[in-house]
Structure 1
Amino acid sequence: MAKVEAAYRAGPGSKLSVDIEFYDSLKEGKAKRTLVETVNIPIREGKAWQVPAGHIFRIRVPEGPQVGDFNMWNLHDPRERMWASRTRQLQRAHVSTYDRIWSTLPFLRPMATIIDDTLANYGQDEQGGRVHDLLGTRCDPYVNHLLTGEDFDHHCHSNLVRAVLPYGLTEFDVHDVLNIFQCTGLNEDDKYFMKACPAQQGDYLEFFAEIDLLCALSCCPGGDLSVDLWGPDAKDPLATCHRLEVEIFQVDPSALEGWCEPKSPAYKGGHGLKVPSIDWEEEKKRLK
């Protein structure tokens, strides 16, 4: 069967193409970097942190396999936030090195670029599972109550809500996530499945911040997802939970020579809407 080409392709000269040489030059051991902050995320909790443009942040598994649900906003305007569905289209459903996380309309620009991934070689397993998932979204107390009739306050959605409140954001700002270290796919019935997380102690996913960012991460209450969360075999996966850690690095300015923050597409069409002009002098006369 002939291969079906992707709808959005990053050919030579494409706006979707990535300067691999530049991003490779930022990896550990190549560009001088300084650790400026470490954020510890306890099990079944969430934390938010800021990352200036041109910095690197690493999300890592310091103890054992664990899934993390990730959100991201423009630090100065949270209306610009990561757009999971467009990122699926422009990049792929499971992201890795050189993939970029794109922002919502009308901004539509790379917010962060993945520059390193210790699970990059996982590929696709025998069941079709892949890691770092944009297919699904966060667990939440609403669907949990729908399926079980019970309330639980430490789902990823709730963890993210609590994490962003100090930054002036609310539940309405929490959005579809990047499921970091999560292994998922679509089965033969085209239905979403989750597998046990393959990440091991020390594994990480590393990002370059293209703009000033506010990030948030939930340490999923499902732990490594090796235990059924719903259904007849469901049980509490507490024993599979491990903390997560975020490291934020400042990069030596010399390594960023020639780099600049990405710009939004310069669309000025107004969506076909025509705004009527007002003759203010005539309006003043009319109102007298």
Structure 2
Amino acid sequence: MTLPLPPDADTRRAVAPVICYPVDSLPRPDLALYAAARAQATRTAATRVPAREARAFRVAAGQFFRITCAEGPQVGDLNLFHATDLSERFFSGKTRALHGTHVSTGDRLWSGFPHLRPMATITTDTLAWYGRDGFGCAVHDVIGTRCDPYTHHLLSGQDYHHCCHSNLTRALAAETGMAPAQAEPLVHDVLNVFMCTGFTADTGQYFMKATPARAGDHIEFFAEIDLLGVLSACPGGDCGAEHSSDRAICHPLQVEVFAPAPGALAGWHPPSPNGYDRTHGL
């Protein structure tokens, strides 16, 4: 049954929006310091993430890590954990609330409650030029949850084992020695690296289009705390058609870690956990 419009419908719709979380008081990353440190940094590790698979990597606080499209357009799904406390992990929802639906240079990836602190800061993004296109799309989203075998089965009735959720589960289990059943609940909503996405104007549905990334495009982060990262090379390839498929053309991703020279970060300290007293009014 369609209900009649209230007489003040247009007035209600015309109310101006208000930013939910003004960020003027957020501490700003010292990008100039990071850039100077990065200029003298040396590569200390590299990890190849095969197509339709995931791999884990570790980055110490004060180091940089770069994710690169190694051979061609490829979307990646990134999970981040505190290296020694896996209960502290990336909080895509709060990152989205603070920085918007897509992130780029200067934005930070935040951890969940009760820690709520920066885990990593984006320092370089070769796709920053893309901005927001005529469809409302932008790159590197914190909207999508990750492709997963449960939704795939719900929509198709088929089992598929190389969705990013499963890839991340296997890689986390392999890195930590956990059983897959233990690792799976720790896998969380991702940063969709290189993914080009938006929402439809009429129905508000999440949609994707082929990434503008090409071989050599990369995004680089400064690790604010000791990190364990897990990255999946999405089975959707460039995600221009579908994202849980053996038909899409997929490419590997490359992760590199860079360590600054001693003394290059003088005065910098890893951020402390959130200062809220956790009494919750009791």
Aligned to 1:25: 36
* Cα contact 1:47–1:160 (8 A) shared by 2: yes
Q: What does the per-residue CA deviation read over 1:23-59, in whole Å, with 9 as the maximum and x for residues that have no partner?
A: 33344xxx21111111001110000011111110000
Mark the CA change 1:82 to 1:94 in structure 2 (over 3 Å): closer, same or farther.
same
**2:184 aligns with one of 157, 171, 174:** 171
Matches within 5 A, 1:70-85: 70-85=78-93
Aligned length: 263
**Partner amino acid for 1:100?**
R
Kindly indicate whether residue 277 of structure 2 is the aligned counterpart of residue 268 of structure 1.
yes
Q: CA deviation at 1:229?
A: 5.0
* Cα contact 1:184–1:195 (8 A) shared by 2: yes
* RMSD after superposition: 1.8
| Deviation >4 Å, runs of 4+ | 1-5
2:46 & 2:172 partners in 1: Cα distance? Answer: 18
Matches within 5 A, 1:71-110: 71-110=79-118
Structure 1 residues not aligned, in runs of 5+: 274-288
Kindly indicate whether residue 261 of structure 2 is the aligned counterpart of residue 247 of structure 1.
no
* Cα contact 1:69–1:218 (8 A) shared by 2: yes
Kindly indicate whether residue 156 of structure 2 is the aligned counterpart of residue 159 of structure 1.
no
Q: CA deviation at 1:2?
A: 10
* Cα contact 2:235–2:243 (8 A) shared by 1: no
Secondary structure of the 1:182 match is strand
**1:182 aligns with one of 192, 195, 204:** 195
**1:61 aligns with one of 59, 62, 69:** 69
Q: CA deviation at 1:203?
A: 0.3
* Cα contact 1:227–1:237 (8 A) shared by 2: no
Q: CA deviation at 1:5?
A: 5.1
Secondary structure of the 1:78 match is strand
Aligned to 2:19: 6
Q: CA deviation at 1:268?
A: 1.7
**Partner amino acid for 1:20?**
L
Structure 2 residues not aligned, in runs of 5+: 1-13
Matches within 5 A, 1:116-155: 116-155=124-163
Kindly indicate whether residue 233 of structure 2 is the aligned counterpart of residue 219 of structure 1.
yes
- Rg larger for: 1
63-72 or 31-40, larger mean C-alpha shift:
31-40
Kindly indicate whether residue 47 of structure 2 is the aligned counterpart of residue 48 of structure 1.
no
Matches within 5 A, 1:199-218: 199-218=213-232
* Cα contact 1:229–1:236 (8 A) shared by 2: no
Secondary structure of the 1:170 match is helix
* Cα contact 2:209–2:241 (8 A) shared by 1: no
Aligned to 1:197: 211
Kindly indicate whether residue 29 of structure 2 is the aligned counterpart of residue 15 of structure 1.
no
Q: What does the per-residue CA deviation read over 1:63-83, in whole Å, with 9 as the maximum and x for residues that have no partner?
A: 100000000000111100000
- The percentage of counterpart residues that share the same residue type is 49
Q: TM-score, normalised by structure 1?
A: 0.87
**Partner amino acid for 1:177?**
V
